[in-house]
Each structure stands twice: as C-alpha cells, then as structure tokens.
C-alpha cells in the first residue's frame, strides 16, 4: 500500500474542493475508476492521471492561445476576421520525466509558432510543480474510494 502525505503549505480544504469537483463529473469518475482497476499500484494510477491531465491542460492552453476551442467553428471564424489568422498545426509527442517515470505528452503546435505552453515549457524534460499538484490531490483523498 502506498501512502502519500500532503505537502506542507497546501490548503487541505482547497484540495478537497478540487477533488470533489473532479469526482462530480460521472465520465471522469468512470475513467478514474477504470484506470485504477488496470493500474498495478497507486503510483501507476497517479502517473496515468498526471499524463491525462497534462495532455488536457495543453489542449486548454492552445484553446486560450488561439481564442477558440478545437471544434468551435463559429468562434474560430470570428477570431480570424478580427485578427491575423493562426491555426492549429498538429502535434508532436514529447517524453518528459516526472516523479512517476517517463510520460508521453502530446504537444500541440500552431502555424505561426507562437504557442509557448506553461505546463510543459519548450525545452523542458522534467516536471516538478505538476507532480506536487497531483500528489496533493491524491493525498487529499481524490482516489480514496477506489480501494487504496
């Protein structure tokens, strides 16, 4: 059994609030449950959650950078008429190291090459702050209902 204690300086009430909001989403709760059933131990579960969170966060950063979501054609047309157009230009896979091992991260890119992600900055090969955030969510009880 793996135990993780919360990092000093984190607000336990805020961690609990975030974990409750995450678990309110039935699709997300189902995915977490499925991932926990296939993971050999708690660290594999956290590694999978970390990788999924980073990929979703990078897509959200790209949405904010471009001013529209991937499937929002109407807003895309409005943004393009108001400013110089910039589009998504696919993605590439990048391996970054974390406290849970190597993670395969899908890095989105834009045609103007102006996208500079904050979650996984260009050139970085090691994650530290995201590890701490996921550990505090885990320690706050996000996955306690799954038999760990």
Mean pLDDT of the chain: 76
Bridge partners of 91, per DSSP, are: 108
DSSP-assigned letter for residue 147: T
pLDDT of residue 106: 94
DSSP-assigned letter for residue 5: P
Helix crossing, 12-24 with 129-139: angle to 10°? Answer: 80
The DSSP H or E segment spanning 95 is strand 88-98
Domain boundaries, the chain: 12-146
Q: What is the mean pLDDT of residues 55-69?
A: 88
pLDDT of residue 21: 79
Q: What is the C-alpha radius of gyration for the chain, rounded to an integer number of angstroms?
A: 17
Query: 109-135, pLDDT tens digit by residue?
Result: 998 889 999 988 888 888 876 556 666
């Amino acid at each position: 059994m793996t135990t993780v204690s919360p990092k000093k300086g984190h607000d336990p009430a805020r961690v609990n609030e975030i974990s409750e909001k995450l678990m309110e989403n039935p699709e997300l709760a189902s995915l977490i449950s499925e991932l926990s059933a296939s993971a050999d131990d708690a660290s594999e579960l956290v590694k999978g959650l970390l990788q999924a969170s980073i990929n979703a966060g990078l897509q959200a950063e790209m949405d904010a950078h471009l001013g529209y979501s991937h499937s929002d054609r109407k807003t895309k047309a409005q943004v393009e008429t108001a400013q110089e157009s910039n589009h998504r230009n696919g993605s590439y896979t990048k391996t970054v190291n974390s406290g849970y091992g190597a993670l395969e991260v899908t890095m989105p890119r834009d045609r103007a090459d102006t996208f500079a992600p904050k979650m996984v900055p260009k050139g970085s090969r090691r994650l530290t702050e995201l590890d701490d955030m996921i550990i505090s969510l885990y320690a706050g009880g996000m996955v306690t209902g799954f038999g760990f």
